[in-house]
Amino acid sequence: MTKSRVQAKAVDTSKLRNFVVGSAIGLAVIFGAMSLRADEAITKTHGFNFFGELKYPADYKHLDYVNPDAPKGGEISIWTMGTFDSFNPYTRKGRAGALASAPFESLLEGTSDEVGTSYGLLAETLEYPEDQSWVIFNMRPEARFSDGTPVTADDVAFTYELFLNEGLASYRAILGQIVTGVEILGPHRVKYSFADDASRRDAIPIVGGLPVKSKAWFEKTGAKLDESRMEPAIGSGPYVLDSYDINKRITYKRNPDYWGNDLPFNKGRANFDTIRVEYFADSNAAFEGFKSGAYTFRQENSSKSWATAYDFPALDEGHVIKTLLPDGGMATGQSYVMNLRRDKFDDIRVRQAVGLLFNFEWSNESLFYGQYARINSFWENSELAAAGMPSDAELALLEPIADLLPAGVIDGEAVMAPVSGNRTLDRKNLRKASALLDEAGWTVGDDGLRRNAAGETLTIEIIEDSPTFDRVHLPFIDNLKAAGIDAIYSRIDPAQMTDRSRNYDFDMMVDQFPMSLEPSSGLKQYFGSETADQSVFNSMGLKSEAVDTLIEHVMNAQNKAELATSVKALDRTLRAYYFWVPQWFNDAYRVAYWDMYEHPETLPPFALGNLDFWWYNAEKAADLKAKGVLR
């Protein structure tokens, strides 16, 4: 069972391009007004990776994991839960429709088989000096928005200003710290300059990853980036909004005039003529819809359904494929999160006690059919996860800030999630939790409830918008009550969930912390003090000088060994704050689909790609319809 939550997310920072001008001594160039030294080496490249070589050469024909000859056509349909009242994915107001960011492209885009690498999309090439103090993007003059107007350097500069002034506050802070200015050098040539202390690992990808907006469209409509609206901004991507029925469905269609169809980067991608999203109130209703053919592709997030519910006629007769596909990515960091903005969670012993009362082992055996492994690390299922005692290299980072660290970070092993027995309530962990709460000053009264010295009851409310999670939350609630906590479970509707989570109006909720294998300044949005009261990603409201310092070490890592050391030091420190109760993960995609789709035999390690590089088999689809099993 994995949690799916729709909320505004950070702008993808995985993009890039280059430009080369040679001279007799190599890559030195003079750009006139740019006042470059004649002997300054300029890199010209079609892609960017701070740490090493690019997998794909400049003359690559297509990405390795696609079928370059995949046919175009047909429809794929998926489901999502809840409601929508906006087609602006970059606002904190309202709830954006599914895939609302699909129409937009950026100068650079990452691949699904590399870490930290970006290749040119709207940009044809990029160029930058050895110190990466600036970057110039040379854009593709053939790039067009969906209305046929060209994508220009003016649009890129406008996009930067738009996100700087109207983007999420946490993102604005990072963008403002990195970029000192943007210059238009020509109709399709734009330069970004970076602050001296900006992370060089972030600078180029973050500006290359901005989703480029049409300046003309925003000026014509008067639209704001931070407002909720039903009229979508135009983009340059392969899909455009086709139609929608509020809270029922959204359909996107492939733009037949898409400018980038023949790019090597796009070969074998964007293969469906239409992508339809059906909305359902909950997963059970959605599953019934899938069985009837209301939509055709389902990624299963319920272990119970996967184990017990796939016995309907269409599957038995071979019309529906049910399969596990490998997922090489990290765990998402799914967990119960405690809101540190609430005084009740000030004492770390309270947080430790709460964590002891969630019984993963019983849940996995009784509820999940043994399909999951426990999350312990923010970088679970990767070599970046901290383990055991800190290494000498980690200690070199941790010891100078020893007085700022939680207990046990330096002289203890990395915190692991508690282990429980096979009964719903583990008595041993209950005794430990009760002792911790007593020590923290929350003592049990005659009514069995815990109160502090001021007579305040220890009340903890868990909020949730999916009935699928009732069977997980309710036993946890019972365990909390057994420890004397006035535990409340509130299932609310999706709109309330969006509002309360964004406004930090909760004690505990389920959230995710999806990390990168090459993390950098995005860590500030998840764990940094500066934006803790603004960021939608730092749901717990963590403010830690030690964490801030370690994030700087991660951002300033100059090679992969330094990166691994600094991430492990950060990971063990975060875990020692006990602000989360880690849940579970699965290293495979559980998918079911009506048998009219194909995918490459070998999937890339970091993407399922069903909306990206799968394709429609028209012959199989016609057979299903001829048999009357699919509309």
Question: From residue 397, how far is each of 420, 443, 542, 566 by CA, in Å?
Answer: 33, 39, 20, 7
Residue whose C-alpha is closest to residue 412's, from 377, 386, 384: 386
Q: Is the pTM of this model over 0.85?
A: no
pLDDT at 20 over 50: no
pLDDT category at 3 given cuts 50, 70, 90 is low
pLDDT at 36 over 70: no
Which residues are within 8 A (CB) of 440 and not within 5 positions of it... i.e. 6 or more apart? 347, 349, 350, 353
DSSP secondary structure letter of residue 391? P
pLDDT of residue 29: 32
pLDDT of residue 332: 93
CA 424, 432, 458, 336 torsion: positive or negative? negative
Which tokens sit at 116?
């930290």
pLDDT at 281 over 80: yes
Dihedral pair phi/psi, residue 54, rounded to 5°: -85, 140
pLDDT at 6 over 80: no
pLDDT of residue 542: 98
Percent of the chain with pLDDT over 90: 86
Using one digit for the tens of pLDDT, what is the confidence trace for 293-351?
A: 999 999 998 999 999 999 999 999 999 999 999 998 899 999 999 999 999 999 999 99
Residue whose C-alpha is closest to residue 584's, from 442, 376, 410, 281: 376
Question: From residue 127, how far is each of 18, 114, 131, 181 by CA, in Å?
Answer: 4, 21, 12, 16
Percent of the chain with pLDDT over 70: 94
pLDDT category at 17 given cuts 50, 70, 90 is very low
Task: Determine which of 38-47, 309-318, 571-580 has the lowest per-residue pLDDT on average.
Answer: 38-47
Residue 14, CB half-sphere, CA atoms under 13 Å: how many? 14
pLDDT at 77 over 80: yes
pLDDT of residue 38: 44
Question: From residue 254, how far is each of 257, 266, 594 by CA, in Å?
Answer: 9, 13, 21
Report the chain's mean pLDDT, rounded to a whole number: 92
pLDDT of residue 115: 92
Task: With beta carbons less than 8 A apart as the criterion, state whether 191 and 135 touch.
Answer: yes
- If phi > 0 it is left, if psi is from -120 to 50 it is alpha, else beta; for residue 116 that is left
- What is the maximal distance between C-alpha atoms in the chain? 88
Task: With beta carbons less than 8 A apart as the criterion, state whether 283 and 555 touch.
Answer: no
Which tokens sit at 557?
């890592």
As beta bridge partners, residue 118 has 48, 110
pLDDT at 244 over 90: yes
Report the C-alpha gap between 227 and 512 in whole angstroms. Answer: 25
Which residues are within 8 A (CB) of 625 and not within 5 positions of it... i.e. 6 or more apart? 631
3-class DSSP state for residue 615? strand
Report the C-alpha gap between 213 and 101 in whole angstroms. Answer: 11
Question: From residue 540, how far is each of 7, 142, 466 by CA, in Å?
Answer: 16, 45, 20
pLDDT of residue 40: 67
Which tokens sit at 103?
């129409």
pLDDT category at 418 given cuts 50, 70, 90 is very high
Residue whose C-alpha is closest to residue 9's, from 580, 536, 607, 518: 536
Task: With beta carbons less than 8 A apart as the criterion, state whether 119 and 47 touch.
Answer: yes
Rounded to 10°, the helix 153-166/169-178 angle is 120
pLDDT category at 5 given cuts 50, 70, 90 is very low
pLDDT category at 468 given cuts 50, 70, 90 is confident
pLDDT category at 426 given cuts 50, 70, 90 is very high
Using one digit for the tens of pLDDT, what is the confidence trace for 136-180?
A: 999 999 999 999 999 999 999 999 999 999 988 878 888 999 999
pLDDT at 540 over 50: yes
Using one digit for the tens of pLDDT, what is the confidence trace for 211-236?
A: 999 999 999 999 999 899 999 999 99
Which tokens sit at 265?
């980067």
Q: Per residue, what are the HEC states of 311-337?
A: CCHHHHCCCEEEEEEECCCCCCCCEEE
Using one digit for the tens of pLDDT, what is the confidence trace for 112-136?
A: 999 999 999 999 999 999 999 999 9
Mean pLDDT within 445-451: 96
Torsion angle, CA of 65/71/72/77, rounded to 10 degrees?
Answer: -70
pLDDT category at 92 given cuts 50, 70, 90 is confident
Report the C-alpha gap between 48 and 269 in whole angstroms. Answer: 21
pLDDT of residue 2: 66
pLDDT category at 472 given cuts 50, 70, 90 is very high
Question: From residue 252, how far is each of 241, 458, 611 by CA, in Å?
Answer: 4, 48, 11
pLDDT of residue 199: 87
CA 191, 192, 196, 200 torsion: positive or negative? negative
pLDDT of residue 406: 97
Q: Which helix (H) or strand (E) holds 489?
A: strand 486-491
Using one digit for the tens of pLDDT, what is the confidence trace for 247-269?
A: 999 999 999 999 999 999 999 99
Q: Which helix (H) or strand (E) holds 127?
A: strand 123-129
**CATH architecture of structural domain 337-585:** Roll (3.10)
